[in-house]
Amino acid sequence: MPPALDATAATVPAMAAPDRARQALWAAIAMVAVWGTNFSVQKAVFTALSPGGFLFARYLMMPVAATALLLWTFGWKWPRLPRAELFALAKLGLTGHLLHVGLVTYGIHWSTAFSSSLILACGPVFTLLILRWQGLERLTHGQVAGVAVACAGVLVFLSDKLLGGHWQASGGDLTLLVAASFFSYYTVSAKPLIERHGGVTVMAYATLLGSGPVVLLSLPAGLAVDWSEVRPAIWLGLCYAVLISAFLGWLVWGWVNAVRGVARSAPLMYLMPPVAGLVAWAMTGERYTGAKLAGAALTLAGVAVAQYASHRPDDPVREAPAPVD
């Protein structure tokens, strides 16, 4: 699910008791492990259901979860929003769910678990570039260098595919880059709406408004699946990917940010690609060359520099999450 979700946290978190802060740290580490594992889980589910079948099932489940969240938070008195705000949330839903999640699903299917996690970790770079394009951010020399290093790292990371002629896998990685840019646009566009209406309202309404088009477009693939023959392990993987990793995961991450602060939590996201790589190595036998590992390290270093090289302590790029689906 596209999160706007660490933004459920206050900009300046209150001081947390040591025990609560420790619990939040362990929760954050647990979520990084869940998200890193989810890439391999999703690939197994896609193989059984097809990417379109997965999207069909996911967006039948997501509105139910969003409705439950609204009922839990507001009871039957849901927030009433002006038509213009609903229209903005509908655009947000299409960007985050139809474009971002749709492309991520096919990108992960065409690529590998480790590649997918690393490419999506480049999200803060796109956030920086979008803010610069909108005139909201001025790039420092350090940020420019970080973007250049991240781009070089991606080229090194993909060199085996590009030089080896593995074009379908390369196409999956390029699809994920486009998906990451849509997520960054979603994040930037969601921020003013979250400031006005709160993270839960924006998250739930965008999900409800964005789910319908995904279900309609994935309907043929969904109907092609013989759901009576789907194994319990695949149902378990589907629920893990949709309800635990996507929906519950971002709610937990919002609480983590509220307790620890975004600046202290965001760097933990750089652990997600190593976790995804280790899980893929253990579960599917995925193997990595020295060039691939060096490219991954270079990419993450560049993203980190681009995200944190600002002179402003309140720089919005520091709070930009990487897309996780």
pLDDT in tens, 232-272: 999 999 999 999 999 898 888 888 888 877 667 778 888 89
CB 66, CB 303: distance < 8 Å? no
Q: Which two tokens stand for residue 85?
A: 């705000």
Task: Check residue 17 and give its pLDDT.
Answer: 66
Give the separation between CA 252 and CA 29, rounded to whole angstroms: 11
Residue 247 is which amino acid? F
Q: What is the structure's pLDDT at 12?
A: 42
Torsion of CA 24, 314, 187, 12, to 10 degrees: 40
How far is it, in rounded angstroms, from Cα 102 to Cα 99?
Answer: 5
What's the pLDDT at 13? 46
Quick one: pLDDT at residue 323?
63
Spans in the chain with pLDDT lower than 50: 1-16
Encode pLDDT of 159-209 as tens digits: 877 666 655 557 888 999 999 889 888 888 888 888 888 888 999 999 999
pLDDT of the residue at 135: 67
The 10 Å Cβ neighbour count of residue 140 is 16
Residue partners of 196: CB distance under 8 A and separation at least 6: 85
